[in-house]
A and B are shown apart, each in its own frame.
Chain A
Amino acid sequence: AQSVTQPDIHITVSEGASLELRCNYSYGATPYLFWYVQSPGQGLQLLLKYFSGDTLVQGIKGFEAEFKRSQSSFNLRKPSVHWSDAAEYFCAVGGPENDYKLSFGAGTTVTVRA
């Protein structure tokens, strides 16, 4: 069975500060990992993905994530947060073994204070 845990329900960060969102996954094969962002009432926008290769992946909007197989983690980071980064962030896992059906974590809500 595949699953994702996002331990932090809500994070508040000051504008300009760094941000790290945690994600732990369970998957029976080599995982395909994703981070999506969702603004209120909107759909999901893909920030970045990991399929294979370099374990540090770069995404849009200045985000990056690092895949650590030994820790079953895929944490998302951004060095300097902007007010527009306030949103809900979802980590997801899937792969070819299950036709890329995604399992999502419960999400982390990010609040940015001035």
Chain B
Amino acid sequence: DTGVSQDPRHKITKRGQNVTFRCDPISEHNRLYWYRQTLGQGPEFLTYFQNEAQLEKSRLLSDRFSAERPKGSFSTLEIQRTEQGDSAMYLCASSQGGVDTEAFFGQGTRLTVV
């Protein structure tokens, strides 16, 4: 069990470019969550998956954001036409689901839009 893995750790992109982040959850964890953390704030929920099904999207997730979890394993978060306001740490977490389970977080992807 290697924990939740996120790639890349850091991404610098020009405004208007598209970016994609990847999250590999702990194996056999059926729930996967994406959070966004801006400087000086706590993480905010973006979206989550139960296996391959995306069950909820926060209103923070504009139409420029899309997330997938094909085959219920790894997940990708894509941001199209990035804006400076998208600069943040994007955190992925996974859990076994069911009762009394906690989420384990990855190291995050730090996005800087210039």
**Is A106 within 8 A of B41, CB to CB?**
yes
**Is A104 within 8 A of B33, CB to CB?**
no
In the docked arrangement, what's the CA distance between A70 and B28, Å?
A: 38
**Is A106 within 8 A of B108, CB to CB?**
no
**Is A49 within 8 A of B102, CB to CB?**
yes
Q: Residue of B at shortest CB range from A44?
A: B105
Given contacts A99-B48, A99-B56, A101-B56, contact A51 B41 (CB under 8 A): no
In the docked arrangement, what's the CA distance between A107 and B110, Å?
A: 18
Could you give, for residues 64-107 of chain B, a 1 whenever the CB lies within 8 Å of some chain A CB and a 0 otherwise? Answer: 00000000000000000000000000010101000111111111
- A42 contact from B42, B100, B108, Cβ within 8 A: B108
**Is B45 within 8 A of A34, CB to CB?**
no
Count of B residues near A, CB < 8 Å?
A: 29
Q: Residue of A at shortest CB range from B43?
A: A104
- B99 contact from A44, A46, A96, Cβ within 8 A: A96
Q: Tell yes or no: A25 within 8 A of B by CB.
A: no
- B104 contact from A32, A41, A42, A46, Cβ within 8 A: A46
- B42 contact from A43, A46, A100, A106, Cβ within 8 A: A106
Interface size for chain A: under 10, 10 to 19, 20 to 34, or 35 or more residues? 20 to 34
User: Least Cβ distance of A34 to chain B in Å?
Assistant: 7
**Is B42 within 8 A of A90, CB to CB?**
yes
In the docked arrangement, what's the CA distance between A106 and B41, Å?
A: 5
- B31 contact from A42, A90, A92, A100, Cβ within 8 A: A100
B contacts, CB < 8 Å to A: 4, 6, 31, 33, 35, 40-45, 48, 50, 55-56, 91, 93, 95, 99-108, 110
Pull 29 A–B residue pairs with CB atoms less than 8 Å apart, ordered by A. A4-B42, A34-B102, A41-B110, A42-B107, A42-B108, A43-B4, A43-B6, A43-B105, A43-B107, A43-B108, A44-B91, A44-B93, A44-B105, A45-B105, A49-B102, A51-B100, A52-B100, A99-B48, A99-B55, A100-B31, A100-B103, A101-B33, A102-B35, A102-B43, A104-B42, A104-B43, A106-B41, A107-B40, A107-B42
A contacts, CB < 8 Å to B: 4, 32, 34, 36, 41-46, 49, 51-52, 90, 92, 96, 99-107
